Structure 1
Amino acid sequence: MADPVPAVLAPAVAVAPPAPYTPDFDSPYYLSTSDHGGVVIVTKPLTGVGDFPSWLRAFRMALEGRNKIGFVDGSLPMPAEDDPTHRFWVRNNAIVGGWIMNSVAEHIAQSLLYVDTARDMWLFLSKSYQQSSAPRKYRVKQKLRDLRQASMDVASYFTAIFAVWKEFKSIRANHSCTCGRCTCLLSKRWNDEDESDFVIDFLFGLNDEYEGVRSHILAMDPPPDLQTAYNLVLQQEQQRLIRPVKPSDAVVFQTSSPSLPEAISAVSSSTFKGKQRPLCTHCGLYGHTIQKCYRLHGFPPGYRAPKSGITASPRPSARSQTKPSNNFANVATDTGCVADVDKLSLNQIHDLCSKINNRLKSSNATITENGAPASDPDTGTFSGIDDWEG
């Protein structure tokens, strides 16, 4: 009997170990080079109850952009320890927890230091700082009603009130169809109603100079949408900026007027109307003319200054506005003495004496021993009353 042929054993094939799990870009476990625990992902940290709604909104947007929202809303629970994604979950959970602590005030971060997961941190902040619906709605509605344009331009005012309106809309219940078979566009109608209410709030806070465009928008039927109302107000602001300003009634405009010498000459004319007082063009005082000016012709004998001691301030005369001629000089002072004669030349003195003689001859006046013209019937007897004082 032949020996049996031994069976040929097939060589053993080595089984390769499973490839390690590597998260791809769309995986919530994926971390870029900028995703580390020291990153601050919101600009304004959480400080208390007042700013929690805005902080919550900003932080959720930052997490959704990094595909990490599942670590705080509970949609991505921790996997089992033997799961290949367990270590990636632990790493991402620690990084998201660090982001939360970096985005709150220091006194709040101290209370989160020993909280295990990012989910528990999120729930702790929500319970501690999120207000109930009614008080929060009242606070936001009050802020919306109290907001006024004041010194802001239209664009800045619209931006400020739009942010408050969006916050109010986020806490307001949104009515929508739940059966899925509604064809009446309930959601659109509800949004249009919200927008109409906001247009009223926007117009209510405008300054009084926009009363015209405000009345125009309120009178429109159907009411305009938010963008149309904003554009109308913005156009009104631009027109006010380029429109020339009308001169105010209180503005005083300069007009051409005669010079001072011309005005004095007109007043000192020989013809006066009514009770108009004459003005002397020599001394600038009211009550007499240059033909009867004591300062020019000399003071009469026995003249006494007024007992009141009040001397009228002479107004600028035409003689002070022009340069004196070399042929004339002031020959009389308050005391009746001749002044500045030493400065005159001999020819000037003769010329001056000739003019005085001619003047006296033409008026039939005589010179007293004091050098002053004697009184004539036109002037009357001197009574001691300073009739030429202004």
Structure 2
Amino acid sequence: MASPSQNTTQTPDHLVNPTNPLYLHPGENPTLALVSPLLTESNFHQWERDMVVSLETKNKEKFIDGNLSCPPITDPLHEAWRRSNRMVMSWLTHSMTRSIKQSVMWMDTTSENWRDLKDRFSHADKFWIFDLQDQILACRQGDFSVFEYYTKLKILWKELELYRCVLTCTCLTPCKCGLLSKLHKEREDDYLIRFLRELNESYAQVRSQIMMLDPMPSIVKTFSMVLQHECEFIGLIRKHSVLDSLAFAAMSPNQPRFNSSDKTNSNASKNNSKNKFCEKCKKTNHTIETFYFRIGFPAGYRKNKTNNKASAKWIQLPLFRNWIWMAILPMTNSLSLKTSTSYASNHWIVDSGATDHISPTKSLFHNLRATKPIPIKLPNHTTFIANFSRNIHISDLLLADVLFVPEFSVTLISVHKLVSTIDCMAVFCDSHCFFFQKSHFKMIGAARKIDGFYCL
């Protein structure tokens, strides 16, 4: 009599063992698109990598590389192989565009399908490699943040590595000369120099520090150092932005101004103010410590109606372009404006009192444009005539309508005109003056303080 164990039929391994390449989970969907975006004529390598990863997670990569061939018809696993092969083919075709799908849908095996795709799309890579190299060479930080600029470069690098990977030794005896590691290091150094080279000029200091390191740090470490430098500047600007914006923002007549009468004060504080007496002006409601004529008036303070009219007239003075007042007399010893200061002719001086940009150096202008003669009168009654002007680019700064005055020996940047023409903000600190775009909060220029002047 046969035992019960002998009568029991053993379940095939491919039906219960998930590690078997022929195993199909009951929840598998043949209409599923494993990869996004779909395969097109120009993204084969990216699509190939994503598809291999997806098939490896499902233990089906052997169907595309040909390592799992079709069993004979008499083999019990023949039908199981056909089902798995059709499932993988369906995943492939549903991850292609319609035109490519129609060209491979009549093939019988997944490996045949895969070979056809590689033969068609992987041999036209030389032109795309050239395009990628051009994109890398043309990639600059510009208006991007450090993170966005680095991410854009890294995407291009990784895509280029798909086409041109570092070759490895295939000898039976492993190579011990260390050539492979040297090749990887040289490629990473090239990436690092490319990343540093196209940073904006505001990162010149940290760029010089990194380039002097020996050995050079990794590209990831370099990115971290530059990002830390950027965060330090942003933190510094956020700290000073409110105070410095009030100091240099141009106020229009429609903007709200300081109001000395605070209606929110309590009756008790009003009574206390009546008891205060100023020994300087012999009046009540304040003390000598808060006497504005002694300590200075707040920005936008209205003193009285008479002074308001005079103030309104002075605010409109910059609108008359035939009178341009410059605060440069401390630098001059004669009417010819010649000075022995070394940086006067080599740097742009940031001037918050000037209404126009001025330069005496003709070589800074690509070409000059004749303008209506503009008299330039200084507080010492010296007058010059500007007959030419043109735009000048200083790194990321655009100086619009710079006046060419050869009699000057200094070059001036008008803060008022700069912030009104390129929509930026100027932030003055103890040792530097920073210029930032308002839209992206990106630094576009920095001037150092030299002998009391901010020089760019």
Shift of 1:263: 8.9
Farther off after superposition, 244-253 or 160-169: 244-253
1:227 is the counterpart of 2:220: yes
Change (3 A) 1:51 1:257: same
SS in 1 for 2:230: helix
Query: Which residue of structure 1 lines up, in the alignment, with residue 205 of structure 2?
Result: 212
Aligned equivalents of 1:204 and 1:157: distance in 2?
A: 12
1:22 is the counterpart of 2:67: no
Which residues in structure 2 correspond to 1:1-80 (within 5 Å)?
19=10, 21-23=12-14, 24-48=17-41, 50-80=42-72
Aligned equivalents of 1:258 and 1:13: distance in 2?
A: 114
Shift of 1:69: 1.0
For 1:172, give the aligned amino acid: R
Farther off after superposition, 147-156 or 30-39: 147-156
Which residues in structure 2 correspond to 1:233-312 (within 5 Å)?
233-244=226-237, 247=244, 251=249, 254=299, 259-261=304-306
Match 1:92 to one of 71, 84, 94? 84
SS in 1 for 2:217: coil
Change (3 A) 1:251 1:94: same
Match 2:100 to one of 90, 104, 108? 108
Query: Which residue of structure 1 lines up, in the alignment, with residue 275 of structure 2?
Result: none
Change (3 A) 1:182 1:22: closer
Shift of 1:104: 0.6
Aligned equivalents of 1:166 and 1:64: distance in 2?
A: 21
For 1:141, give the aligned amino acid: Q
* Alignment TM-score, normalising by the size of structure 2: 0.50
Which residues in structure 2 correspond to 1:328-367 (within 5 Å)?
none
Query: Which residue of structure 2 lines up, in the alignment, with residue 378 of structure 1?
Result: none
Shift of 1:114: 1.3
Change (3 A) 1:263 1:230: closer
- What RMSD over aligned residues (CA atoms) do the two structures have, in Å? 3.0
Shift of 1:132: 3.9
Aligned equivalents of 1:196 and 1:30: distance in 2?
A: 46
Query: Which residue of structure 1 lines up, in the alignment, with residue 112 of structure 2?
Result: 120
CA contact (8 A) 1:21 1:84 kept: no
Cα deviation per residue 1:148-198 (whole Å; 9 max; x = unaligned)?
333332223322221221121222252334353432322222211221111
Cα deviation per residue 1:305-338 (whole Å; 9 max; x = unaligned)?
xxxxxxxxxxxxxxxxxxxxxxxxxxxxxxxxxx
Q: Percent identity over the alignment?
A: 27
Change (3 A) 1:173 1:162: closer
Unaligned runs of 5+ in 2: 252-298, 311-456
Change (3 A) 1:32 1:151: farther
CA contact (8 A) 1:37 1:98 kept: yes
SS in 2 for 1:60: helix
SS in 1 for 2:33: coil
CA contact (8 A) 1:149 1:205 kept: yes
Aligned equivalents of 1:264 and 1:195: distance in 2?
A: 66
Query: Which residue of structure 1 lines up, in the alignment, with residue 434 of structure 2?
Result: none
Aligned equivalents of 2:83 and 2:308: distance in 1?
A: 98
Larger Rg: 1
Change (3 A) 1:215 1:33: farther
CA contact (8 A) 2:302 2:308 kept: no
Number of equivalenced pairs: 254
Which residues in structure 2 correspond to 1:193-208 (within 5 Å)?
193-208=186-201
CA contact (8 A) 2:13 2:20 kept: no
Shift of 1:262: 6.5
SS in 2 for 1:217: helix
For 2:195, give the aligned amino acid: F
Aligned equivalents of 2:119 and 2:309: distance in 1?
A: 90
Aligned equivalents of 1:263 and 1:202: distance in 2?
A: 54
Aligned equivalents of 1:34 and 1:155: distance in 2?
A: 41
Aligned equivalents of 1:150 and 1:114: distance in 2?
A: 50
Aligned equivalents of 1:21 and 1:93: distance in 2?
A: 18
Unaligned runs of 5+ in 1: 1-10, 266-390
Query: Which residue of structure 1 lines up, in the alignment, with residue 140 of structure 2?
Result: 148
Shift of 1:87: 1.1
Change (3 A) 1:86 1:262: closer
* Alignment TM-score, normalising by the size of structure 1: 0.58
Query: Which residue of structure 2 lines up, in the alignment, with residue 291 of structure 1?
Result: none
Aligned equivalents of 1:186 and 1:84: distance in 2?
A: 50
Aligned equivalents of 1:136 and 1:130: distance in 2?
A: 10
Query: Which residue of structure 2 lines up, in the alignment, with residue 171 of structure 1?
Result: 163
Query: Which residue of structure 2 lines up, in the alignment, with residue 187 of structure 1?
Result: 180
For 1:208, give the aligned amino acid: E
Shift of 1:65: 1.4
Change (3 A) 1:260 1:16: closer
Higher strand share: 2
SS in 2 for 1:243: helix
